[in-house]
Structure 1
Amino acid sequence: MSISSHRIATIPTLLISMFATFASIYVAGRLWQDAQNRVYLIKQLDRITGQGQSAISVDDTLKIIACREQHKKLAALEMELAAARQEGFSSNRLIESETNGTYSKTRPLVVIGILTGFGGRKNRDAIRKAWMGSGAALQKMEDGKGIIARFVIGRSANRGDNLDKDIDHENRLTNDFLILDDHVETEEGLSKKAKLFFAHAADKWDAEFYAKVNDDVYINIDALGATLATHLDKPRLYMGCMKSGEVFSEPNQKWYEPEWWKFGDKQSYFRHASGEMYAISRALAKFISINRSMLRAYAHDDVSAGSWFIGLDVKHVDDAKFCCSSWSTGAICAGV
């Protein structure tokens, strides 16, 4: 090969070397510039955040922002809880009306049905004076604590007689009755009456809980409200003084059960709440309302209520504060 040919072959090599050198200088310059930009941005971030000591990454910044947002939400919830405790026990949930699509900010905590009879005027007056109130006091309990209380009674077998007229007159004066027009008052019909109370109450009021009470029981309203409020997270709650009593199979016995042969060993009932007072959640009250025509009513209302929930995914809560046999510190009810 000639000398001139050798020189021509080395020209591309020189060009490639020069290009690589210039490229290296350019890349180094850009990296230096980016580094300078990052240093400037970090300094600005330090100045804005007031850190001044160390740089934080974008990921760390996002975590800090998320944490601050969580703190804001927690603080807001704590304020709402404090306000709820001060104002009463109503549930501050947004409830959509099934009829017109409007929303209500509150849902009553509990509807209390006090099962009473035609001869129970003295008991009713005593309850009004002791814990239920009347007129403005009754309305204040509903508005302030989210607790609705009504005396529950059916109609006379002789429809429209003096018994019915006396109840209608009393209700015009007090406006504190839930009258079951589709129920005839009889001693044997207490279980059906309890069932109809839950069904009608669930249809009339959209509450968190529904409680059945006898008219010879006094209630500590604040204790009831505080206790139920701790169980708002249980959608299918059945709560009371739980027991498993003896099944009486002889007709001359006080608590005789005509269908005694249906209960297991024929000697003891399944677990159920004592009838003086017990509470169920909204979902169970709706279940009773929907299935009222199919639910069996046994001789005793407490046994009947317990039977309605067998086979359902129900949370049974046994709370001694619902045992009304004696009044003690923190008790919810007491029999008189």
Structure 2
Amino acid sequence: MQPRGSSHRLPGQLLRTRISTVMLAMLATMASLYVAGRLWQDAENRVFLIKEIDRRTGQGRSAISVDDTLKVLACRDQHKKLSDLEIELAAAKQKGFVAKHSLRYNATDSRKRLLAVIGVFSGFGRRNNRDAIRKSWLPTGAALKKLEKDKGILLRFVIGRSANRGDSFDRAVDDENRKTNDLLILDNHIEASEELPKKSKLFFGHAADTWDAEFYVKVNDDVYVNLDALGAMLAAHMDKPRVYIGCMKSGEVFSQPNHKWYEPDWWKFGDGKTYFRHASGEIYVISRAVAQFISINRSILRTYAHDDVSVGSWLIGLDVKHIDEGKLCCSSWSSAGSGK
């Protein structure tokens, strides 16, 4: 016999069950819409991030994290590869075949990446040094273009501007460049010995923005460079995406103001006052991804008293392989033709 009131409870239970089912369905639908919306928003955010970084980079005001920088570099690299392949495919279709894509430098294709951009750091009153280099290891005129075309090596003397813009120093540099066409003049840099760390940062940033190369090299204008030996050495490291090559060293940080190598920020290097590992400033090499990192973050990278220490500090914490290359050390310079 059915208890009294059970006939009234049953419809109520069914109603509550139906309401619960409907609510669950609504919640599931709302959750799906929320997740889809977030995914779409994340995609839009990534596109916005890349556009914003491009805009800031063009204005020299980038300030992004290392992780975001590496993501953007990877994204840009993929976009460039796709763009290159599309251009190559279109050209191949016109010829009636699809050419094999080569990653090696090809002098007949101007879109191929250079092997190295070499910046020879010079300054006012160093014309004799530059002329001596032009007569020894740095070709001039048509030979300079031929070196770029045949071996993928681009060479420029790097110099800034006078603090008194337009004075005799600036005019002399402009006149020299009209005759030789082998100077990279950094218009937004004041040429001074104490500004050398900033000059290094500007050079790598400008070079990475202007020329697509596997490596970027900084050399002093009192160093002899064997270009064939340097090219062979760099070719051996082509398979490493992020490298920092040079005569690696570390040493004492000098806190005495009258010392030749005085470091005003000596107190930042700990109680031991010892520099971290870095390449000697006479000549060193960084790979393309490292140069791009410097380019993007140039406005927030800190400089110290010396350019080689400054460059080494920028790479701390990055996944960069430090390569101690004996051929780039001072001890090897005394050998004739030893090359740098």
Alignment partner, residue 324 of structure 1? 330
| Match 2:143 to one of 133, 137, 144 | 137
Question: Residue deviations 1:185-240, cap 9 Å, x none?
Answer: 11110000011000000011000000000011110100000000010111100000
Instruction: Sort the Cα spacing of 1:329 and 1:171 in 2 relative to 1 into closer, same or farther, 3 A.
Output: closer
> Which amino acid is the alignment partner of residue 256 of structure 1?
Y
Q: Distance in 1 between matches of 2:87 and 2:136?
A: 37
What TM-score do the two structures reach when normalised by structure 1? 0.68
- Offset at residue 266 of structure 1 (A): 4.2
Q: Distance in 2 between matches of 1:180 and 1:259?
A: 27
Within a 5 Å distance, the mapping from 1:17-166 to structure 2 comes to 96=81, 102=87, 104=109, 106-166=112-172
Q: Distance in 1 between matches of 2:227 and 2:207?
A: 19
SS at structure 1 position matched to 2:137: helix
> Which amino acid is the alignment partner of residue 293 of structure 2?
F
> Which amino acid is the alignment partner of residue 254 of structure 2?
F
Alignment partner, residue 219 of structure 1? 225
**2:242 counterpart of 1:242:** no
Bigger shift: 100-109 or 202-211? 100-109
Q: Distance in 2 between matches of 1:152 and 1:238?
A: 20
Question: Residue deviations 1:273-320, cap 9 Å, x none?
Answer: 000000000000000000000001110000000000000000000010
- Offset at residue 141 of structure 1 (A): 1.1
Alignment partner, residue 270 of structure 2? 264
Instruction: Sort the Cα spacing of 1:294 and 1:232 in 2 relative to 1 into closer, same or farther, 3 A.
Output: same
Alignment partner, residue 204 of structure 1? 210
> Which amino acid is the alignment partner of residue 317 of structure 1?
I
Instruction: Sort the Cα spacing of 1:98 and 1:185 in 2 relative to 1 into closer, same or farther, 3 A.
Output: farther
- Offset at residue 263 of structure 1 (A): 1.0
SS at structure 2 position matched to 1:242: strand
Alignment partner, residue 19 of structure 1? none
Gaps of 5+ in 1: 1-94
- Offset at residue 258 of structure 1 (A): 0.2
Within a 5 Å distance, the mapping from 1:247-326 to structure 2 comes to 247-325=253-331, 326=333
Question: Residue deviations 1:23-46, cap 9 Å, x none?
Answer: xxxxxxxxxxxxxxxxxxxxxxxx
Bigger shift: 128-137 or 98-107? 98-107
Regions of 4+ moved over 3 Å: 95-105, 327-331
CA contact (8 A) 1:217 1:324 kept: no
SS at structure 1 position matched to 2:114: coil
Q: Distance in 2 between matches of 1:149 and 1:328?
A: 23
> Which amino acid is the alignment partner of residue 275 of structure 1?
G
- Offset at residue 321 of structure 1 (A): 0.5
**2:183 counterpart of 1:177:** yes
Q: Distance in 2 between matches of 1:220 and 1:126?
A: 15
- Offset at residue 96 of structure 1 (A): 4.8
Gaps of 5+ in 2: 1-79, 89-108
CA contact (8 A) 1:247 1:257 kept: yes
**2:181 counterpart of 1:186:** no
> Which amino acid is the alignment partner of residue 338 of structure 2?
A
SS at structure 2 position matched to 1:129: helix
- Offset at residue 106 of structure 1 (A): 2.1
SS at structure 1 position matched to 2:218: strand
Question: Residue deviations 1:51-98, cap 9 Å, x none?
Answer: xxxxxxxxxxxxxxxxxxxxxxxxxxxxxxxxxxxxxxxxxxxx6597
Instruction: Sort the Cα spacing of 1:324 and 1:98 in 2 relative to 1 into closer, same or farther, 3 A.
Output: farther
Q: Distance in 1 between matches of 2:82 and 2:197?
A: 31
Instruction: Sort the Cα spacing of 1:209 and 1:177 in 2 relative to 1 into closer, same or farther, 3 A.
Output: same
SS at structure 2 position matched to 1:208: strand
Provide the aligned C-alpha RMSD in A: 2.1
Alignment partner, residue 18 of structure 2? none
CA contact (8 A) 1:239 1:279 kept: yes
Instruction: Sort the Cα spacing of 1:161 and 1:258 in 2 relative to 1 into closer, same or farther, 3 A.
Output: same
CA contact (8 A) 1:110 1:208 kept: yes
> Which amino acid is the alignment partner of residue 172 of structure 1?
R
What TM-score do the two structures reach when normalised by structure 2? 0.67
SS at structure 2 position matched to 1:273: strand
- Offset at residue 102 of structure 1 (A): 4.1
